[in-house]
Amino acid sequence: MEKNSKVWLIVLFAVVVYLLMGIYGDFGKLSLAMKDFRWTFLFVLFILTTINYLFRFLKWDFFLKKAGVYLNLKDNLFVFFSGLSMIITPGKIGEIWKGWLIKDINGAELSKTVPVVIVERITDVLGLAILALFGILYYKEGIYFILALFLIFLGFLATVKSKTISNRIISMLEHKMGKYAENIKTMHKTFENTMETKGLIGMSLMSAFAWFFECIGMYLVILGFKESIDITLATFIFSFASLTGAVSMIPGGLGVAEATISGLLQFFGLTPTLSVGIAIIVRSGTLWYGAIMGLSVYLLFKREKGDKKKQRVTTLK
């Protein structure tokens, strides 16, 4: 019941956000702009977003294997895509649920799988930060925010890599965690395995490549409204907005990402109405498309599992 109420609160919050955006963009003008929008571009955005997910799935699989966790392709796809239903949680932290899904499938310890989810999210942020750097020529003020993210990451990496610092932290936690002390050691070992420099750089670059497909999607959505900006600028706006939404720790970055997209588009010359329309379409084809896809995959797989269980029970009878 509590989970359902949280979901409905997020939905209600989303409705309020989009109502406010509609008021700001002028409902009358916004509806006319939406009528003129070439809706084929939304379906293209769905395809580009899916391509992004497929490349990020390869990254997820890479980190799982680094952690010594192995799943067959079907189960792995189920876990990864089901996790997308959690992208509307603050900072996508709900994706840690993937660890529990894996535990249900093969019994893998959470101390092995949770670090994989965290490192995967770190490389997502790094990938978006790399893309955002391309737009600094347009919006130099953004460099401080991006540099701050890189510094936080370097601090975390130094903590994991340094035996002195990590052993001291583990020692402190052992006294407080009691019987869970061994899990802390396993988590640290998993972080070490998944955060090897070469693999981390490679997967961060793969993240940048994957997210670039959604940046292209935003560029095409702008074209769909019969407007045009440089693709480098579109890449910066989308990646920077995604980063601000992620660090805000607001569910799904709701309001923050949309405001950043529409605000930057206006800063670079588009009207408030078109900026709001573009933000709504882009978020529909990325955030909400992913959340609906994730929930659909989870429910379909769960149903299939339930049907197989019933068949086994019937056979035994």
Number of helices (H) and strands (E) in the chain: give both, helices first: 14, 0
Distance CA 178, CA 19 (A): 49
Q: Which pair of structure tokens corresponds to residue 9?
A: 């609160």
- Structure token digits, residue 29: 């003008």
In a domain, 21, yes or no: no
In a domain, 84, yes or no: yes
Model pLDDT, residue 61: 97
Cβ-contact 236, 139 below 8 angstroms: yes
- Look up the pTM and report it: 0.89
Tell me the backbone φ, ψ of residue 90, rounded to 5 degrees.
-55, 120
The rounded distance, in Å, linking the Cα atoms of 127 and 158 is: 19
Cα 244 → chain centroid = 12
The predicted pLDDT at position 40 comes to: 96
* pLDDT of 21: 87
Q: Flag whether 291 is in a domain.
A: yes
Residue 29 included in any domain: no
Q: Give the per-residue pLDDT at 162.
A: 79
Alpha-carbon span 71 to 268, nearest angstrom: 46
Q: What is the pLDDT of residue 316?
A: 45
Q: What is the mean pLDDT of each run of 10 residues along the chain (317 residues)?
A: 63 84 87 94 97 98 95 95 88 85 92 93 93 79 80 85 77 69 82 90 96 97 94 94 89 90 93 95 96 93 66 50
Q: Which structural domain, as residue segments, surrounds residue 190?
A: 45-303
Residue 112 lies in a domain: yes
- Give the C-alpha separation, 287 to 127, whole Å: 17
- pLDDT on residue 138: 73
Handedness of CA 256, 146, 87, 241 (dihedral sign): positive
pLDDT of residue 136: 75
Q: Residues of 243-276 as b/e, b for ≥16 C-beta within 10 angstroms? A: bbbbbbebbbbbbbbbbbbbebbeebebbbbbbb
User: Per the domain annotation, does 185 fall within a domain?
Assistant: yes
Amino acid present at 275: S
Euclidean distance between CA atoms 30 and 272, whole angstroms:
9
CB of 113 closer than 8 Å to CB of 67: yes
Decide if 117 is inside a domain. Answer: yes
Residues 234 and 217 sit within 8 Å (Cβ to Cβ) = no
Q: How many domains does the chain have?
A: 1
The structure tokens listed for 207 are 């993240």
**CB 183 within 8 Å of CB 111:** yes
Give domain status of residue 22, yes or no.
Answer: no
